[in-house]
Structure 1
Amino acid sequence: MTNATIASAWTTAVDDAPIAVATAADLVAIAGADGTAWILEAATGVPVGTVTLPGGLLAAAFSPDASHLALAGPSGHALWRRSDGHVVAEQTGAWSGAVRWAGPDRVAVASGRRALVLSTDGTQLWATDPAPSTVTDLAWLRDGRRLASSAYGGVRCHERHTDKPVTEYRYLGSHLAIALAPTGRWICTGNQDASIHIWRTRDGDDLTMQGYPDKIARLAFDDTGQWLASDGAPDITVWDFSGKGPAGTEPRSLRTHETVTALAWRPGGDAVLASAGAEGTVAFWRAGSGRAGALVRPAYERELTDAVVALAWSGPGLLVLADYQGRVEAWPLPDGLAR
């Protein structure tokens, strides 16, 4: 199965270098570096519309019902409404690299050193006070009742409508990405100093996973909260958070890429991970197979002409991927990986 060929469900192209793929319900968005997001039907790839944020794009995220698309970039953020194709909110002037939805009606946006929370009509509901540095990532805790933001020095948590943090998880350094366990038990950051820092949310007990050759910029839990995947090396590492957590354990190592460019867990909690590398390989993994410390080989891999720079699952059965030349493909799940 490793060398089999997947027949694409559909292919298309966008006139830019993609930086992100966002999916929700029946839509897909391909965010381009120059500032345009192309919105497509997930089942067919047929264009639905476009929206442009002046100054470029760094992140994009649909609301869970796909009624709105939030965009973030070096010059600000914007909010697109599906019902009429209008931009209902746009703010320029502050660097923004993260957007996160709390259900269908509220979205958090990184805006310089602050996090802003907007309603779907673009109204600013509240904002945090300034962090020590630019906010790099966001996550919602407690079913959207608490917002976590990462910046230099750690993670700051805010209750609704509170500008000052109610909890802080401290670790000296630059934090690039947040991963929150779906159980709410763990909060993790990927860091510029080539480490993963982990806190237990109930008491702040923490530990650091060090020794990576490169910074950790991609970090994600699967739907069960048992498995945490990260970049930071040619190998993808997968840590087991079952039981008392990963302290004193070794990760599984997923080896096929030279440099990891994208990774995404398949929805549903079956520990299937999709990844891409700068060498042009796309791989599917049974990421929980083997013992702790084991070397895991791909269940399926395919080498493409150009490097895939972004990918995302549209439901459990379709993977949408985009290469740096603007080619977009949708792949069904390879035979034998579904359980």
Structure 2
Amino acid sequence: MPGLTQAGQGWARGISRRWNAPIGEHVIALALAPDASLVVAAPSIGNPVVIDAESGSLVASLPEQGAGTLCLAWDGAGRHLAAGGKDGSLLIFRDRDWANPVRVSLGEAWVESLAWHAVTGHVAASSGKSVAVWSETGDCVVRFPDHSSTVSAIAWRPRSDTLAAAAYGGISLWTVSHPAAPRVFAWKGSPLCLSWSADGSMLAHGNQDSTVHFWYALTGQDLQMTGYERKVREIDWSPAGHFLATGGGPAICIWNCGTKGGPAGSTPLMLSCHDSHLNQVRYQPTGGYIAAAGSDGKLSIWSVSSSPWKPSAVHDFRGSEVTAISWSARGEALVAGGSSGELCLFRVV
């Protein structure tokens, strides 16, 4: 019920469940506002909803995007929200105006990835084989040449105008100021997700062949980590960029990338409490915790400085997979959604 504040049995001090609320359908995507004031959730069927993060009450229902919304992303300031749809549309809700979004048609392919630039305030979107960058007003800043296959993920390199795009055959590094030809990290495989380290020195991607691949951006040197149980769709860098957390199985697998030799030849830290594979892993932006969404219905929250390694909190969605999680910018709030349509918001202090 909205407004409920409760700590689970055995939870670490400072972590509590604030409320839970149903949205009726499988939660596809979540976006918690940077200031922790609003939660936006996209169900598998129907309209995305905006929910007050303090009370759990409904604020607004957003326009539908054909057969559904696939991805959501706030800009860094928390003023504008972007939504990508199965109908090939990009919606930009400027200044939290939920009734009058800017609508851009990107074609017939699904819009599956969004990434706001931290400085320019432009949003990149991928649709099928294409990637383009848009202003908040819906003007096209640049449209890059099509890739040879569907783009699976995009990510801005920190403090630059370089956008990484993952597709079969490797990673293309597009530069907005010189968009004609990308730098390419060629790799014979299918990347599924990618993420930059905080300083932009390393790029990591999880892959369909149950591996994780690292690239050193300056030299193009690469490393590959094997041994995962399944496709790796879950990766996230620690805020300082020294550690990479991955899924690819039932445990959080954390690689130490902060040493001179990087993760090569090292043994990762394994954080285990789930009974089946993970759906997402996310570091708290301030770095004190890491959260994992499990297909076993558990949300686990771990302190990154605690040993022995036991979760600080575990919430059971009771038969529903945990399908999406999102932190606020300062890490004081975490929202999780499940396949049953349940949302839960947690406070972390």
Q: TM-score, normalised by structure 1?
A: 0.91
Distance 1:40 1:109 in 2: 25
Distance 1:209 1:163 in 2: 31
Distance 2:309 2:270 in 1: 6
Q: What residue is the counterpart of 1:141 in the other structure?
A: 157
Deviation for aligned residue 1:144? 4.4
Which residue among 103, 107, 128 is the counterpart of 2:123? 107
SS in 2 for 1:98: strand
Query: Aligned pair 1:261/2:276, yes or no?
Result: no
Which residue among 79, 87, 90 is the counterpart of 1:67? 79
1:129-278 → structure 2 map (5 Å cutoff): 129-244=145-260, 245-257=262-274, 258-270=276-288, 272-278=289-295
Residue deviations 1:220-266 (CA, integer Å, cap 9, x gap): 10211111111111212011111221111111011111111222111
Which residue among 1, 4, 17 is the counterpart of 2:10? 4
Identity %, equivalent residues: 29
Q: State whether residues 309 and 323 of structure 1, in contact with CA within 8 Å, keep that contact through their aligned partners in structure 2.
A: yes
Distance 1:8 1:296 in 2: 22
Q: State whether residues 148 and 157 of structure 1, in contact with CA within 8 Å, keep that contact through their aligned partners in structure 2.
A: yes
Q: State whether residues 131 and 143 of structure 2, in contact with CA within 8 Å, keep that contact through their aligned partners in structure 1.
A: yes
Distance 2:265 2:16 in 1: 43
Distance 1:123 1:15 in 2: 35
Deviation for aligned residue 1:154? 0.9
Q: State whether residues 125 and 161 of structure 1, in contact with CA within 8 Å, keep that contact through their aligned partners in structure 2.
A: no
Which residue among 295, 307, 313 is the counterpart of 1:300? 313
Query: Aligned pair 1:320/2:326, yes or no?
Result: no
Distance 1:163 1:317 in 2: 38
SS in 1 for 2:48: strand
Query: Aligned pair 1:28/2:39, yes or no?
Result: yes
Query: Aligned pair 1:53/2:71, yes or no?
Result: no
Which amino acid in the other structure matches residue 45 of structure 1?
G
Q: What residue is the counterpart of 2:3 in the other structure?
A: none
Distance 1:329 1:146 in 2: 35
Which amino acid in the other structure matches residue 283 of structure 2?
W
Distance 2:269 2:225 in 1: 13
Distance 2:129 2:290 in 1: 33
CA 97–84 in structure 1, closer or farther in 2 if over 3 Å, else same: closer
* Structure 1: segments with no counterpart, 5+ residues: none
Q: State whether residues 113 and 130 of structure 1, in contact with CA within 8 Å, keep that contact through their aligned partners in structure 2.
A: yes
Distance 1:161 1:36 in 2: 37
Distance 2:326 2:158 in 1: 25
CA 181–282 in structure 1, closer or farther in 2 if over 3 Å, else same: same
Structure 1: 4+ residue segments shifted above 6 A: none
Number of corresponding residues: 329
Q: State whether residues 176 and 189 of structure 1, in contact with CA within 8 Å, keep that contact through their aligned partners in structure 2.
A: yes
CA 50–162 in structure 1, closer or farther in 2 if over 3 Å, else same: farther
Which amino acid in the other structure matches residue 65 of structure 1?
A
Distance 2:168 2:150 in 1: 8
CA 141–113 in structure 1, closer or farther in 2 if over 3 Å, else same: same
Distance 1:329 1:84 in 2: 22
CA 2–210 in structure 1, closer or farther in 2 if over 3 Å, else same: farther
Distance 2:301 2:193 in 1: 23
Distance 1:30 1:45 in 2: 12
Deviation for aligned residue 1:84? 5.7
Residue deviations 1:36-61 (CA, integer Å, cap 9, x gap): 22112222223222222112222111
Q: TM-score, normalised by structure 2?
A: 0.88
State the Cα RMSD in Å. 2.0
Deviation for aligned residue 1:7? 4.7
Deviation for aligned residue 1:303? 2.5
Distance 2:47 2:191 in 1: 27
Distance 2:9 2:187 in 1: 43
* Structure 2: segments with no counterpart, 5+ residues: 1-6
Query: Aligned pair 1:282/2:299, yes or no?
Result: yes
CA 84–233 in structure 1, closer or farther in 2 if over 3 Å, else same: closer
Q: What residue is the counterpart of 1:13 in the other structure?
A: 22
